[in-house]
Amino acid sequence: MKIIVGLGNPGEKYKFTRHNIGFLVADEIYEQYAQTTWINKFGGLYCKCLFENEKFLIFKPETFMNRSGLAVRSITSFFKTNVSQLIVIHDDLDLSIGQIKVKSSGGHAGHNGLKSIHQIFGDQYLRVRIGIGRPEHQTEVSSYVLSNFSPSQMKQMNTHKKAFLTGMASLLTGNLRCFMNSFT
């Protein structure tokens, strides 16, 4: 069974920050496809979902970003999920606001959540990169990713989250080209 992991930090303080776009997308998937309520287990929140006869899990690690890999290992071990069935949704500074790209392997680009997952699973898992852009001024990256989206940016992100949901079938079946075409 596939597990879609939305990366973010727990707590109201971080809810609408750029670094939490993985959680925000996971919440959208939950609203559309959840078959259960959120279950607090494995160091995070998960639920069972169904989309066009495809069962999958959504997982939001509550270990804070730099320890995400530990929680992901816990849930994948319990459900005996192979790393090839793992899909991680995360923020990406190198993409413009709302831009979405898929990556099936490679480095972590300094992202602490991915770094934690890499330490446990290596780099051979699917990532959905969601652009948060770079700060206009030479603001420190950590303060930028932990700041909230502006209202106009949030509106833009909401549009892209809807497109993401439209491409869900392609993502779950592994048709990544079709998934990416959902955004063009």
Q: Is the pLDDT of residue 170 over 90?
A: no
Q: Where are the alpha helices (DSSP H) in the chain?
A: 21-33, 68-78, 112-121, 141-145, 151-166, 168-173, 176-181
Q: DSSP for 38-72, please give it.
A: -EEETTEEEEEEEETTEEEEEEEE-S-GGGHHHHH
Residue 130's pLDDT is 93
The rounded percent of the chain whose pLDDT value lies above 90 is 64
Residue 63's pLDDT is 94
Q: Is the pLDDT of residue 85 over 90?
A: yes
Over residues 126-154, mean pLDDT: 87
One-letter identity of residue 163: A
Best CA proximity match to 24, nearest among 184, 160, 142: 160
Residue 184's pLDDT is 63
Residue 135's pLDDT is 84
Residue 135 Ramachandran class (φ > 0 left, ψ -120 to 50 alpha, else beta):
beta
Domain extent listing, the chain? 2-181
Residue 52's pLDDT is 86
| Terminal alpha carbon distance of the chain | 29
Over residues 150-168, mean pLDDT: 84
What class is the 2-181 domain? alpha beta
Cα 179 to Cα 67: distance, rounded to the nearest angstrom: 29
For the stretch 5-58, pLDDT in tens is 999 999 999 999 999 999 999 999 999 999 999 999 999 999 999 988 889 999
Token pair 């990406």 is found at: 92
For the stretch 56-75, pLDDT in tens is 999 999 998 999 999 999 99
Q: Which of the following is catalytic: 19, 108, 111, 160?
A: 19
Higher pLDDT, 64 or 4: 4
Kindly state the DSSP code that residue 136 receives in the 8-state scheme. Answer: S
160: β partners: none
Task: Please say if 160 is a catalytic residue.
Answer: no
Q: Are the C-beta atoms of residues 96 and 131 closer than 8 Å to each other? A: yes
Token pair of 72 as six digits: 């992901």
Residue 107's pLDDT is 85
Residue 110's pLDDT is 80
The rounded percent of the chain whose pLDDT value lies above 70 is 98
